[in-house]
Structure 1
Amino acid sequence: MDSVDFLSMPGLHILSWIHFPERSVARHILYGVIIGVSLSLTSTSLVAYYQERKRLRATRQFNLRPIELRGDEIIKGVTGLIGNTPLVRINSLSDALGVEILGKAEFLNPGGSVKDRVAVQMIDDAERQGLLRPHTGSRIFEGTVGSTGISIATVARARGYEATIIMPDDVAEEKVKALRALGADVERVRPASIVDKKQNLARERAKYFGLENGPTDHLPRAHLLPTPSSSVLVSTAATDALGAEHYVMTSNDEENFRTGPRGFFADQFENRSNYEAHFDGTGPEIWRQTNGKIDAFVSGAGTGGTIAGTGQFLKSMNEDIIVALSDPDGSGLYNKVKHDVMFDRKETEGTKRRHQVDTVVEGIGINRLTKNMELALPIIDDAFR
């Protein structure tokens, strides 16, 4: 067999052209490939991660946080349970309308209503101003159809005060029983027009607190302490038998003035503490619980404190948020918002009663403008009857 010249074969001729790089060069090339692949995988993973986060944020923007009280926390008394109420998604309406409709579960407050916040704020503010001192036999007076009275009775007993609640005799009997169970004195009166003197009965009771026989020629009135809100009245039994301008207090009178029992008229309708409770509490809670993703706030109004305080806070965070009033039949607030006239349909010519006092919802709606409601009017965008 003839010998074969392998170098003349085509395949071997090509191999003769290939030159493998030196070891150091090959190592650098390998490192480059590894780094390139790693960077590619990392960037792809980061993009996927942030896309997933964006998707989850979009789907969870109204996911509600639980109440922030943990099981291992110790609450200081019943007032520690007030506030931090959850938002509840109203599934039927939300699904039907394609928007998220959430309700603030204020019924979970220990007193059963949003008025718990107001009661705490009013007493806190009074104590800060030196108007009330606990465990001195002082008494808080208020006129109410029930909810505020229950809240005041709950908080007053927890904070070392007595409570007297003046209420119409046509409110639900369950409210009266609840008040008495909480230790409050309940005085029931016939329903009266807002201009009737009976509307000021709680104020009168506070004014003459400590005077066993009430106002007389010799004891004209209890001492009125100056307050930041002129509507809040505080009395003490250190009174002037001959007229304040002629009276010089004895040392015992001064001590009684400083530490003795006082009568405090809470006056939820005019007391600015009502507004502050919601501006400092309810509004910030709603903003936090919705992560600021809120388009509208809808509320009824009685005293006006809830819609004023909550609405003002939400508007301060985002002026595009719509604040709307839901007003029952028999109330004049709807027309005040819509037409700037405090007027109800039932007061039209030929139908107006001498004293228009009732709305179809107990405790909501009113036919006069309170100081708290005045704070709400500039920020209410719409009203619905």
Structure 2
Amino acid sequence: MNEVNPPKAVESIVETIGNTPMVKLHTFSDLKGKYYAKLESFNPGGSSKDRIGITIVEQAEKEGLLKPGGTIIEATSGNTGLGLALLGIKKGYNVILIMPDKMSPAKMNVVKAMGCEVIVCPTEVEPDDPRSYYSVAKKVAKDTPGSFYANQYHNDANPLAHYLSTGPEIWKQTQGKITHFIAGLGTGGTISGTAKFLKEKNPDIKIIGVDPLGSILAHFHRTKNTDIDAKGYKVEGVGEDIIPSNVDFDLIDHVVTVTDKESFDWTWRLAREDGMLVGGSSGLAVAGANLYFEDNQQDEVLTVILLPDTGERYIDKIFSEAWLRSNGFLEKITTLKELVFSKAANLPPLITLSTQDTLIDAYDKIDKFKINQVLIETKDKYIQLLTKSVVYNALLSDQPHNTKIGKLELIDVNFMDIETDYTIAKVALVEKEVIIITRSESPIGIITRQDLIDNTNIRESDL
């Protein structure tokens, strides 16, 4: 245990923003030099974007753009929205956030919990399309009296925040010995503001940007033109299909392009090898650092990699094997045994009730485990299926909550031995929603149509 030295008590959660820790990375043990993670998840809102909320709001107040009781509007992947929400809570502003639909539900739920209104827009549209989250944010700002559009992509208060805080912190934490700074590319505020401060201290410090494959920023850095179309990618909070004015490309020495799979593989490695539960943009930054130094091995490097946010908002995506598998980032399961046991960490192998249990018991079980059916064991140990739709229909038709399950519509189910060929199970699930898997004739688990869909990258496969 470290010596007890807690920070002083403060008046507002906003005062806890910044001064995040720097921790040595052990995932890079094969590379020469020293590598440290700047853990921005320690900010109160869980990301580096908390920092820019302060400067954006305070600068808008000074310029008379944001008045008491006003509304802050922003196009955001979620983290900037939460940073602005913290300021809104402190200062009494309403906050309306426009978010693309690829963002995790957890992010949307967090900002809603903080009192924000959320408008969701399609991701796969051009930036100037009226449905894009950029366009919708501008329209909402125009139509909302007393509003201020934060516009993090082109607001110089964004890089200013990192020039005033992130850069000085890193310089002090490394005692001025930093040789390389690595961060993901997005709105440009983090890398540009931090780089400006560091290069003023030592022009020889190398600034490495990391861009997801599909973004146009790496291409623009190399060619200074935008003659390339952005492609879709899954990692959140980095990359762009526009060129934000906040990205100062002159300060960036090199840009590495990283795939989604590389980002997510390194995100898992950070959790398992360094105990850092961080988001996919952190995995992207570390993957980029690894690629860069594989080609640029140096003995005396002290590298700081900025890890932008917490991984808690991606539990149902990046840290879900089903999500990774359905999006093609994990190898497909090819046997029933693998499929049954891959579910063990998320659900009990069998979720059952008896015919003597009640309608409300069934509802509670479905709601608790977020499932679409419950197995019902009869008096003679025969197993049938009660679906969520039957339960909901019974509740909506005002059947008594104490109605015995035996009086509801139950469905017969098929049984299949765990050694059965996977393709036979797929054929069987065309006819039945659920198959009970047995070993030595004893039920040990179930598989559903959803399990097969989760095991398939639908866009690249015909099942």
**Which range, TM-score by smaller chain?**
0.5 to 0.7
Partner of 2:293: none
Pick the aligned partner of 1:162 from 76, 94, 99: 94
In the other structure, the counterpart of 1:76 is 11
Q: Give 1:357 shift.
A: 5.5
Match 1:152 to one of 70, 76, 84: 84
Could you say which residue in structure 2 is the equivalent of 1:194?
127
C-alpha change, 1:367 and 1:188, in structure 2 (3 Å) is closer
TM superposition shift of 1:72: 5.8
Where 2:27 maps in the other structure, the secondary structure is helix
- Does the alignment pair 1:209 with 2:144? yes
Offset of 1:340 from its aligned partner? 2.6
Deviation at 1:265, TM superposition (A): 0.5
Instruction: Please say if 1:293 is aligned against 2:228.
Output: no
Give the equivalent residue in structure 1 for 2:214. Answer: 330
Aligned: 1:384 with 2:256: yes
Aligned partners of 1:143 and 1:167 also within 8 Å: yes
Which of 238, 246, 271 in structure 2 is aligned with 1:364?
Answer: 238
Deviation of 1:337 after TM superposition, in Å, equals: 1.8
Instruction: Find the aligned partners of 2:66 and 2:241 in 1 and give their Cα distance.
Output: 31
Local SS of the residue matching 1:178: helix
Supply the distance in 2 between the matched residues of 1:91 and 1:170 (Cα, whole angstroms): 31
> Letter of the aligned partner of 1:170 in structure 2?
K
Gaps of 5+ in 2: 258-463
Distance 1:358 1:272 in 2: 27
Residue type of the alignment partner of 1:97: L
Q: Where do 5+ consecutive residues of structure 1 fail to align?
A: 1-65, 211-261, 348-355
Q: CA offsets, 1:255-309, max 9 Å, x none? A: xxxxxxx211000100000010011111111001100001111111110111111
Residue matched to 2:58 = 124
**Partner Cα separation in structure 2 for residue 197 and residue 117 of structure 1:** 30
2:40 to 106, 110, 122: 106
- How many residue pairs were aligned? 253
Q: Percent identity?
A: 36
Q: Residue 313 of structure 1: CA displacement? A: 0.8
- The question of whether the paired residues in 1 share the 8 Å contact of 2:21 and 2:39 is answered with yes
| Aligned equivalents of 2:7, 2:241: Cα separation in 1 | 47
Of residues 87, 95, 100, the one that matches 2:22 is 87
- The CA deviation at 1:194 is 0.8
Kindly indicate whether residue 200 of structure 2 is the aligned counterpart of residue 316 of structure 1: yes
CA separation of 1:75 and 1:343: change in aligned 2, threshold 3 A: farther
Q: Secondary structure at the match of 1:324?
A: strand
Measured after TM superposition, the shift of residue 91 of structure 1 is 1.9
Shift of 1:101: 0.5
RMSD (CA atoms): 2.0
CA distance in 2, matches of 1:309, 1:289: 17
Q: Which amino acid aligns with 2:47?
A: S
Letter in 1 for 2:252: I
Residues 192-230 of structure 1, C-alpha deviations (whole Å, 9 max, x = no match): 3212123221222122213xxxxxxxxxxxxxxxxxxxx
**Contact 1:194-1:357 at 8 Å conserved across structures:** no
The residue number in structure 2 matching 1:278 is: 162
Structure 1 stretches of 4+ moved >4 Å: none
Separation (CA, whole Å) in 1 of partners of 2:64 and 2:197: 28
Quick one: distance in 2 between partners of 1:171 and 1:341?
Answer: 28
Q: Any residues of structure 2 matched to 1:231-242 within 5 Å, and which? A: none
Kindly state the Cα deviation for residue 362 of structure 1 after the two structures are TM-superposed. Answer: 1.3
The offset of 1:366, in angstroms, is 1.0
User: Secondary structure of the residue that 1:371 maps to in structure 2?
Assistant: coil
Distance 1:181 1:315, change over 3 A: same
Question: Is 2:102–2:234's contact at 8 Å kept on the other side of the alignment?
Answer: no
Q: d(CA) in 2 for partners of 1:342 and 1:164?
A: 31
Contact 1:120–1:155 (Cα < 8 Å) also in 2: yes
Q: Which has the higher helix share?
A: 1
Deviations 1:36-82 (A, max 9, x none): xxxxxxxxxxxxxxxxxxxxxxxxxxxxxx9xx95362212011110
